[in-house]
Amino acid sequence: MAITERASTSLSLNFKRIALISLLFVVGTASGAQFDAPYYVLEKKHAETWEQENKTINNKLASLEKKHGKKPNIIFILTDDIGYGELGSQGGGAVRGAPTPRLDQMANEGLLLNGFYSEPSCTPTRVALMTGRHPVRTGLTDVIFPGNPAGLAPEEVTIAEVLSEAGYATAMYGKWHLGEGEETWPHSQGFDETLFGLYNAAVWAWETPGETVMWKDDHTPEMFNRSVLGTLDARKGGKAKEVAPLNLETYKYFEEETYKRSVDFIKRNTNGEKPFFLYWASNAVSYFTSHPDWEGKSPQGTHFGDQMMEHDHYVGKILDTLQELGIAENTLVVWMSDNGPMYDMFPESSYTAFRGGKSDVLEGGVHVPAIAWWPGVIQPNQIDAETIHVVDFFTTAAKIGGAMDGIPTDRIVDGIEQSSYLLAGTPSRREYMFHYSGPKLGAVRVGQFKRHMAGGHGGLPGKAFFDVYKDPREEHGVMVQMLWAWVPFDDIVSMHNKAIEEYPHRKPYQSKMH
């Protein structure tokens, strides 16, 4: 099939006239899931089209369930710090000295999501994926470092909990990074079984025997001993057990072990009555060391390159497993990065074709690679520029899993349901985005236009507007050319903020430390 390229449609910027109507929609939908105010503008605008698309998708999902005897399986693979352009299918791969043949094959066999957006850093993206909510709404806005009591509040509802209630078997393996208290860990947040670490390898470096570290083990201040830095194994309803210390030596094998656990979970649940949801939060690519079988394999000559090739291999083997077991046609697989490259680790870092990187609301920090794969359901050879955000996969997974009723109704959910876009090739339903930098709104995107929330001067706005189609690196900010859009963008922010007044952000949760 010929490669297709679709462009994003633009949301009308006349929000002033419809702001009040939108807010009335938000207040008036207490019986169902609550979405952000701009969503209701779009829902009204596209009501007839979306109704028809929903009927088509409902019929398609019903037909799939009848054919396979259960709901579709869902696999989310989340990687660490891989920038847009790193894959061979996006111009990287062998060109970067880190070939990605299996991810390129996955893209060719499915949908390359060139318009995918994450949050700017590790913890925020994991919050967004798990809850379908901007991290600021959950009170967990910043990257968690060892010893920090912040964590994912037990009152938040994860996609694992939503799907578990709908009859799914659930598992999580890899990097959790959502708190140090056990009540914040995956087996307390809806996952039946887990093997995980709380961080990447950085904080484990000083635990490695024989290494030159910040403090020797017998002189480490007590405050640095309160964090849980090992590999944890747990089952829902039980207590987590530390099964191994996680340092630069054992870390070499962590990616392989979580991959093996993922394959084992798939095999054990292939013929079960329940569909399954697997969240593989890969530690690729956290740079610090390489698996012995992959060390020095990448022409790039870095741990990053070695890990990229190792991860690519494992993704391919997971897809092969699904094919061999005969369940690929009933399994959605989404591969995605959590944020852009961490250039602080150069040369042990990814890169991005855009300006900026991890921690930025510039495109380099939040515009990252993603692929959706579902043989026989998602058409192959698609390259797509439609806008989709990580929060959307929460709501979309709930839809595909027949669990929309499990989405909480007492809070705003930011994820827009995108099953028609993924499965039927219709336009994305996302025409706006709010990019948060920690607790502050950093940028707003509407259609192809993006405004950074920077200060002006002398009563005039600054050069904060960008047309990301014409200027994807955000190097040529303008003011005069976009004065017509200034007030409409103010209006969409006002709508967003008024909805927050109706549904206030959660206060930061302090986890029970170990």
| Domains identified in the chain and CATH numbers | 72-403 (3.40.720.10)
What pLDDT is recorded for position 204? Answer: 54
Q: Where are the beta strands (DSSP E) in 404-454?
A: 432-437, 440-446, 449-452
Please provide residue 349's backbone torsions phi and psi, each rounded to the nearest 5 degrees: -145, 160
Q: Could you tell me if residue 341 is left (phi over 0), alpha (psi between -120 and 50 degrees) or otherwise beta?
A: beta
What Å distances lie between residue 37 and 136, 137, 446, 460, 501, CA to CA? 16, 14, 14, 28, 12
What pLDDT is recorded for position 314? Answer: 98
Residue type, 279: Y
C-alpha dihedral, 502 to 507 to 508 to 509, nearest 10°: -110
- pLDDT tens string, the chain, 514 residues long: the values are 333 333 333 344 444 333 433 343 443 333 388 999 999 999 999 999 999 999 999 999 999 999 999 999 999 999 999 999 999 999 999 999 999 999 999 999 999 999 999 999 999 999 999 999 999 999 999 999 888 899 999 999 999 999 999 999 999 999 999 999 999 999 999 999 999 998 876 655 544 444 444 444 555 555 555 566 678 999 999 999 998 877 778 888 999 999 999 999 999 999 999 999 999 999 888 777 899 999 999 999 999 999 999 999 999 999 999 999 999 999 999 999 999 999 988 888 999 999 999 999 999 999 999 999 999 999 999 888 899 999 999 999 999 999 999 999 999 999 999 999 999 999 999 999 999 999 999 999 999 999 999 777 787 778 899 999 999 999 999 988 898 999 999 999 999 999 999 999 999 999 877 5
What pLDDT is recorded for position 308? Answer: 96
List the beta bridge partners of residue 441. Answer: 436
Residue 352: other Cβ atoms inside 10 A: 30
What pLDDT is recorded for position 227? Answer: 60
Please provide residue 432's backbone torsions phi and psi, each rounded to the nearest 5 degrees: -145, 160
Peptide bond into 347 cis (omega under 30): yes
Residue that has been written with the tokens 């509802």 in this structure: 157
DSSP 183-250: GGSGGGTT-SEEEEESS-SGGGGGGSTTS--SS-GGG--GGGSSS--SEEEEETTS--EEEE--STTG
Q: Which residues contact 199 (CB under 8 A, 6 or more apart)?
A: 144, 145, 146, 175, 177, 229
Cα–Cα–Cα angle for 78, 79, 84, rounded to 5 degrees = 110
How deeply is 213 buried, as exposed, middle or buried, from its count of CB atoms within 10 A (0-12, 13-18, 19+)? middle
Sign, CA dihedral 361-96-308-294, equals negative
Which positions are catalytic?
A: 122, 177
Tokens of 63: 């037909």
pTM reported for the whole predicted model: 0.92
159 touches 132 (CB < 8 A):
yes
Element (H, E) at 256: helix 254-269
Identify the three-state secondary structure at position 112. Answer: strand
Identify the three-state secondary structure at position 443. Answer: strand
